[in-house]
Amino acid sequence: EFRRVLFRSKVLSNYKKNANIPGFRKGHIPMGMVKKQFGKAVLIEEVNKLIQEKLNEYLKKEEIDILGNPLP
């Protein structure tokens, strides 16, 4: 749980640094607004990374060879 919150805050901070929202200077956007605008995107990104990580672990463990990368 803590790892997930920490990861999410790091990703949100990264979005905050690069976000370009009218009325705010780049990198100076309130975190609440960043969460509102990008919260779902961060969650989707986190879930996709977790799925990819666990799927790769499973494929290595079971010694399954695949062609290309599986899509989550």
Quick: pLDDT tens for 26-71: 889 998 888 888 888 888 887 888 888 888 899 899 888 887 776 6
Q: Which domains occur in the chain, in start order?
A: 2-61 (3.30.70.1050)
Task: Report the candidate in 16, 69, 22, 64 with the shortest Cα–Cα distance to residue 41.
Answer: 16
Q: How far apart are CA 46 and CA 8, in angstroms?
A: 7
Asked whether the predicted pLDDT for residue 17 surpasses 80, the reply is yes
d(CA 13, CA 11): 5
